[in-house]
Amino acid sequence: MNIYGVTLEELSDYFEKHGEKKFKAVQIYDWLYKKRVKTFDEMSNIKKEVIQRLKQDFSLNIPAIVKKQSGKDVYKYLIKLKDGNHIEAVVMIHNYGNSLCVSSQVGCNMGCTFCESGRCKKKRNLDTYEMVSQILLIEEDLKIRISHVVLMGIGEPFDNYDNVMKFINIINNGKGIDIGARHITISTCGIVPKIREFALSKLQVNLAISLHAPNDELRNKLMKINKVYKLEDIIESVKFYIKKTNRRVTFEYIMLKDVNDTSKHALELANLLKGLNAYVNLIPYNETSHINFKKTSHDKVMQFYDILRKNKINVTVRKEFGSEVSAACGQLRTKEEEK
């Protein structure tokens, strides 16, 4: 078992089971996540016999960075996993901190027509340690602290629910990487049962819904998940989430030229979200050679924005990153896999 996929509670239970004091787990976490040692032998305040047992039962091996691209305020990484598969992680430098977009799966089965990741079907879920490793690798490479994490990389986080919840537990723990819950965001394309389960988790983590269309007819064409969970189902699950958590929900809306960006679409979206404790994040599209969708012009994005504002919908336009890199989610990985 890889130790970077073990929660503090699980590690405490492990030591208790082996007749050791539970506080040993806190000491190990300190070495792993505060001091960032690479071997068990460096843990100088741990008894030799305990070190030997840890070596027998746990691995410290993590994936490797194989490619890095950079642009203005953005770094994109291609990471090679132990089994030879590749994932991506993206760092975005904001005035409020450093945000890391984390992948949760190798490939994705959601099949959204505008998404590069969806072209490569899901091969497997990422283990918890493989998600934690993305933070460790990039903090070491850039010599920065990651202050915000968004699960918006390759994969659908709620399709890997248990490992994602463990990942959040580890990075949120004050003895671990110590990223505040309100600085962590999970994005889902709308797996309704998991939205409801997440609402009961009592986590203060942010929820984002990848919406991208204001009606079922269009969303069916763009996102095949909508054939399973209609917009009405998603909105009801979001209302349940807000009722249980009293937290605001983000609706992500990628602007696709002549597809979902008209005034009519903006009015439909305003009506759909009316009265919800939510806001819309309008996202400029990152074009890719494999997919025919085009980016909506800035002027038209702002017209859409103005219509939502006039209809009392809270809305922002996401800062654009990545014009100098393979910006579309999954694009760098696809290039590597197609070689």
Q: Note the pLDDT of residue 290.
A: 74
Q: Where are the beta strands (DSSP E) in 138-264?
A: 148-151, 184-188, 206-210, 249-255
Is 236 in the active site?
no
pLDDT of residue 148: 98
Residue by residue, pLDDT tens for the chain (339 residues) are 999 999 999 999 999 999 999 999 999 999 999 999 999 999 999 999 999 999 999 999 999 999 999 999 999 999 999 999 999 999 999 999 999 999 999 999 998 999 887 667 899 999 999 999 999 999 999 999 999 999 999 999 999 999 999 999 999 999 999 999 999 999 999 999 999 999 999 899 999 999 999 999 999 999 999 999 999 999 999 999 999 999 999 999 999 999 999 999 999 999 999 999 999 999 999 888 678 899 999 999 999 999 999 999 999 999 877 555 554 555 555 555 555
How many Cβ atoms from other residues are within 10 Å of residue 148's Cβ?
19
Distance (Å, whole) CA 318 – CA 324: 17
Give just the sign of the alpha carbon dihedral 155, 158, 159, 164: positive
pLDDT of res. 275: 96
Of 157, 138, 158, nearest in space to 148 by CA: 138
CATH number of 3-57: 1.10.150.530
For the entire predicted model, the pTM comes to 0.93
Q: Tokens at residue 252, please?
A: 């992500």
**Catalytic annotation, pick one of 108, 112, 189, 329:** 329
Q: Which pLDDT does position 332 carry in this prediction?
A: 57
- Interacting residues of 145 by C-beta distance below 8 A, sequence separation 6+: 98, 139
**Helix-strand-coil percent breakdown of the chain, rounded to 5?**
40, 20, 40
Q: How many CB atoms lie within 10 A of CB 9?
A: 12
CA–CA gap between residue 147 and residue 134 (Å, rounded): 13
To the query of whether residue 88 is one of the catalytic residues in this protein, the response is yes
Q: What's phi and psi for 233, nearest 5 deg?
A: -65, -40
Report the C-alpha gap between 157 and 109 in whole angstroms: 11
- From 315, 313, 210, 308, select the one nearest 262 (Cα to Cα): 308
Q: Which residues contact 166 (CB under 8 A, 6 or more apart)?
A: 5, 7, 128
For the chain, the structural domain boundaries read 3-57, 64-337
pLDDT of residue 325: 57
Question: What kind and span of H or E run contains 197?
Answer: helix 192-199
64-337 homologous superfamily: Aldolase class I (3.20.20.70)
Task: Please calculate the CA angle 234-239-244 and round it to the nearest 5 degrees.
Answer: 125
Helix (H) or strand (E) holding 335: helix 331-337
Q: What is the pLDDT of residue 113?
A: 92
Annotated catalytic residue within 88, 116, 156, 252: 88
pLDDT at 288: 80
